[in-house]
């Protein structure tokens, strides 16, 4: 088996995690959370999202959060999810903040894409084209393929459905694509096979995995991804997260669990595990409940 020496862990808790919490947190708490994560050595943080406040009221304070995080430290890449053209316009008004990258999401599943954004996959890819055109030269754009490993409405997802979205994104010059197991339906063999196939088909792209632990397979899927040559793994502090459009979807894999496993495997992340666990505790105190993370202080 071949293992990488180092991997990039991207924190998505402030966005994917908090958008699924019933409790709406004030921007000060989010700013503190992001600062703690950056201080822990996490160099890629998805901080918020620019979507309609009625769709995701938890993140309606995107501007205040980005204004508030100040300089999170040299080498920290701050990103935000963008839902449509209006979202990229809001993001472009934030160029004086650390925001450097936006994320566009299109589902491999027609049914999930409709449920998520009320558009067909083709319509979403057309929107991606427009977003990339507006962001060009100002904000880096990363792509994410939702439900790449299974859809609760549609069932199995074929490599062709994933490739269709990947190709649409590559055509717009996107250089990093994250395959998301939005519903946590993937298994390690599937993750390995799809990633191997897609990496071979589209060389020169940076590939990431966004994993949910719905069926307890999150870390196993991460290991399968490492074997298939994934370069980026996304997780959320404490295992916050889920998907409001997918009934029963559990949180993301927990950042502390992932970092602890990677370090024990001799794979470097540059992250201070202890400080991630301190932030986990901070979020548990803030939300008033125990989070799913297994590795604790």
In angstroms, how far is the first alpha carbon of the chain from the final one? 31
Return the residue matching tokens 């201080």.
Answer: 39
Q: Give me the long-range contacts of 160-163 (CB less than 8 A, separation at least 24).
A: 161/108, 161/109, 162/108, 162/194, 162/198, 163/198, 163/201
Residue 105 or 134 having the CB closest to Zn ion:
105
Site for Zn ion in 237-276 (CB under 5 A): none
Q: Which stretch binds Zn ion (CB under 5 A): 14-22, 28-36, 65-73, 159-167?
A: 14-22
Question: What is the rounded distance in angstroms from the CA atom of residue 141 to the CA atom of residue 64?
Answer: 21
**Helices (DSSP H) in 48-187: which residue ranges?**
62-68, 85-92, 110-117, 121-135, 159-170
Q: Which stretch binds Zn ion (CB under 5 A): 10-18, 54-62, 90-98, 220-228?
A: 10-18
Q: Which stretch binds Zn ion (CB under 5 A): 13-21, 38-46, 153-161, 262-270?
A: 13-21
Q: How far is residue 14 from each of residues 18, 49, 85, measured CA to CA in Å?
A: 5, 9, 22
Least separation in angstroms between CB 144 and Zn ion:
9
Residue 16 or 127 having the CB closest to Zn ion:
16
Quick check: 46 binds Zn ion (CB under 5 A)?
no
Token pair, residue 22, equals: 């019933």
Quick check: 16 binds Zn ion (CB under 5 A)?
yes
Indicate if 243 belongs to the active site.
Answer: yes
Report the residue number whose CB is nearest to Zn ion: 16
Residue 97 or 207 having the CB closest to Zn ion:
207
Least separation in angstroms between CB 292 and Zn ion:
14
Residue 43 or 116 having the CB closest to Zn ion:
116
Using DSSP, state whether 67 is helix, strand or coil.
Answer: helix
Cβ contacts of 123 within 8 Å, gap of 6 or more: none
Q: What does the binding site for Zn ion look like in residue numbers (CB under 5 A)?
A: 16
Return the active site residues: 243
């Amino acid at each position: 088996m071949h293992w990488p020496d180092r991997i990039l862990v991207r924190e998505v808790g402030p966005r994917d995690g908090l958008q699924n919490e019933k409790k709406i947190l004030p921007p000060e708490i989010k700013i503190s959370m992001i600062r703690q994560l950056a201080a822990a050595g996490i160099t890629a943080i998805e901080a918020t999202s620019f979507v309609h406040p009625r769709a995701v009221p938890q993140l309606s304070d995107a501007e205040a959060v980005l204004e508030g995080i100040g300089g999170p430290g040299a080498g920290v890449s701050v990103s935000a999810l963008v839902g449509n053209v209006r979202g990229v316009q809001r993001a472009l008004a934030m160029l004086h903040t650390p925001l450097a990258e936006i994320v566009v999401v299109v589902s491999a599943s027609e049914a999930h894409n409709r449920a998520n954004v009320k558009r067909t996959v083709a319509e979403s890819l057309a929107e991606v084209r427009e977003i990339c055109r507006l962001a060009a030269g100002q904000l880096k754009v990363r792509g994410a393929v939702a439900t790449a490993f299974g859809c609760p409405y549609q069932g199995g997802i074929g490599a062709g459905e994933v490739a269709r979205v990947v190709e649409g994104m590559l055509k717009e010059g996107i250089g990093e694509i994250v395959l998301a197991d939005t519903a946590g339906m993937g298994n390690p063999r599937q993750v390995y096979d799809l990633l191997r196939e897609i990496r071979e088909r589209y060389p020169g792209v940076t590939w990431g995995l966004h994993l949910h632990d719905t069926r307890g397979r999150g870390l196993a899927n991460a290991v399968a991804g490492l074997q298939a040559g994934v370069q980026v793994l996304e997780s959320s502090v404490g295992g916050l997260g889920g998907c409001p459009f997918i009934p029963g979807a559990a949180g993301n894999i927990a950042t502390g669990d992932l970092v602890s496993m990677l370090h024990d495997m001799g794979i470097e992340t540059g992250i201070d595990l202890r400080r991630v666990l301190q932030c986990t505790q901070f979020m548990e105190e803030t939300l008033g409940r125990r989070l799913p993370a297994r590795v604790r202080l």
